[in-house]
Amino acid sequence: MTWPQDIDAQDPRLPLAGVRVLDLSRILAGPLAATVLADLGADVIKVESPQGDETRRWGPPFHGADAAYYLAVNRNRRGMVLDLRRSEDRVSLCALAADADVVIENFLPPQVASLGLDAVRDRSPQAVWVSIRGASEAGPLGGQPGYDAMAQARSGIMSVTGHPATGPTKVGLPIVDVVTGLYAAIGALGALFAKRDSPDGKAARVEVPLFECGVSALINQAANHLVGGVVPGLLGNLHPNVAPYGPIPTADGELVLGATSDRQFAALCRAIGRPALADDPRFADNPTRLAHREELDDLLAGVLLGASTRTWERRFADAGLACAPVNGIDEVFREDHVDAVGLVQDVGHPAGTVRLVASPLRIDGVRPPVRRAPPLHGEHTAAILEALGPGGE
């Protein structure tokens, strides 16, 4: 084995301890997939070009030389620089791929060929090869580059996001990249599981296209169209299938609440001191509540404007109803729950301690720790090449 072990950051208690991941990706979906595997204990080596991952420059804000964007999805790994246009660097890449369990890349198909990655892939049949694309190579969009905003547009996500006054808008975070990264991690894990029973140890190749992942994220909106022929418009914060469900103004803000069954709606009516509303023919069941949603929301707003968000939040919680304040990002990180469960962790970094959102998972009651800060550009190149030895340089 030539893979250089990361003795300092290994944690044998984590479920993917011992799994080796070679991350050739950049931007978001690929690095996020590698982060999910790394959080679960995999040993990840990120390989960048001499120019580095583009997101290192996607700021401000910056922490040291790197943008916060890069820090968000590149924890728990070592980083090195290889110029894949150089034959000697491709030799090093081949040595790493030969011992990798998973390889993640998001190059355009022509780049895969021009950089010799197809040859690397063919020489590493034991590695699950995860390829993130703008769209599946099997279709006419397969050769096109893809970014999150374009995927949100083409997949229909933008067409159901926003208000009639604003027109279609994208989600306020790169949702298709996130969904794609999670699918990529799932695909890698599934292929690793299947490889255990492979008689020749040959691993699968997994394609993860942004466009298809965006369409999959439509969930009920896609089903509404395929089953019922519905072409949804811009509902803003409203739910296409359930009422009441969405933000209602209070005396000092907005509270998102949902009553998705007749029982919950009756409980809501009691909690606001209007139990008779549950028997009103306009609101007798979900179809009638949907048909009279505007009247229902106006009635709820008329009541909720009489007290603060926090007051209603406590009252609805006591009634067993789901609700939440519309937090600003700063308010999110002031939530007592965030501190109580250790969702944000401090990690040492050459530019000074940096705070990062850790894995949302808990395994046997313990959140996987941030074992390494996101690496500096080429931070571990020399050590990795030295560990590879003459055959890998």
Concerning whether 280 is annotated as a catalytic residue, the answer is no
pLDDT confidence of residue 391? 58
What confidence score (pLDDT) does residue 362 get? 97
pLDDT of 114 reads 92
Q: Are strands 344-347 and 354-357 parallel, antiparallel or unpaired?
A: antiparallel
Share of the chain above pLDDT 70, in %: 99
Range from 75-79, 143-147, 287-291 carrying the lowest mean pLDDT: 143-147
pLDDT at 197: 87
Which pLDDT score, from 0 to 100, does residue 392 have? 58
pLDDT band for position 8 (cuts 50, 70, 90)? confident
Average pLDDT, the chain: 95
Active-site pick, 39, 53, 177, 297: 177
**Model pLDDT, residue 257:** 95
For residue 393, pLDDT over 60 is answered with no
Q: Give residue-wise pLDDT tens across range 129-159.
A: 999 999 999 999 998 888 999 999 999 999 9
Could you tell me the pTM of the whole model?
Answer: 0.94
Average pLDDT over residues 243-257: 96
* Residue 27, pLDDT above cutoff 80: yes
pLDDT (tens digit per residue) in 162-207: 999 999 999 999 999 999 999 999 999 999 999 998 888 899 999 9
